[in-house]
Chain A
Amino acid sequence: AQKITQTQPGMFVQEKEAVTLDCTYDTSDQSYGLFWYKQPSSGEMIFLIYQGSYDEQNATEGRYSLNFQKARKSANLVISASQLGDSAMYFCAMREAFSTSGTYKYIFGTGTRLKVLA
């Protein structure tokens, strides 16, 4: 079955340092998408970054980069130069391959709570 695993329930990082949030996934599909979302304490879900399974280069969006290792089925989020505002819950997610009827589902991990220390 498709699955997303985030093994770090909580992490601390010093302000201005880089931090890596781990995500592994399990799928037998060849075509899929991987996402990271941020959920601050206010509760909204904020899209951060996307990586397609056929993308050869790691995705980057500002201070966010996705370390995609297809053979290991990992899609770790790297946040460079952490800021206090980065303190939040972070979710890794996968969009499954299109089914024969053209539909697709999303699967989320259980999240990692990041705390940035001043």
Chain B
Amino acid sequence: EAQVTQNPRYLITVTGKKLTVTCSQNMNHEYMSWYRQDPGLGLRQIYYSMNVEVTDKGDVPEGYKVSRKEKRNFPLILESPSPNQTSLYFCASSPPNRNEQFFGPGTRLTVL
């Protein structure tokens, strides 16, 4: 089944404890992206990647890192999480010459 997977789906952690949210797609898509969704703010793009080893900042990159060493994987890294990073996170991918993004199921992160 063609899909975007994220792990974990739910995570409660404490301030300063490094964490990684994984994202993987099995559709050979080139474009991958991370978003955070907050009430009243919609979705905001954190980082995106056009292809392997090509990443760029979205609108809210502060406090996040990403890497794209393989085409299928695009992990989101929080080196030192803070409570203002409590949010619902979505990973998405899209192929070239197609218009829609395919979204993962979301990861709900709580930082205490």
Taking beta carbons and an 8 Å cutoff, which residues of A are in contact with B? 4, 6, 33, 35, 37, 43-45, 47, 50, 52, 91, 93, 95, 102-103, 105-111
The answer to whether B105 touches A43 (Cβ under 8 A) is yes
By beta carbon, the residue of chain A nearest B43 is: A108
- Interface check B22, CB cutoff 8 A: no
**Complex-state Cα separation, A98 to B108, whole angstroms:** 31
How many residues of B are in contact with the other chain, CB < 8 A?
A: 24
Interface set of B (CB-CB < 8 Å, partner A): 33, 35, 40-45, 48, 50, 54, 56, 58-59, 88, 90, 92, 99-103, 105-106
| Distance between B52 CB and nearest chain A CB, rounded to angstroms | 14
Contact sample, A vs B, 20 pairs, CB 8 Å cutoff:
A4-B42, A35-B101, A43-B88, A43-B105, A45-B90, A45-B92, A45-B103, A47-B100, A52-B99, A102-B50, A103-B50, A105-B48, A105-B58, A106-B33, A106-B48, A107-B59, A108-B35, A108-B43, A110-B41, A111-B42
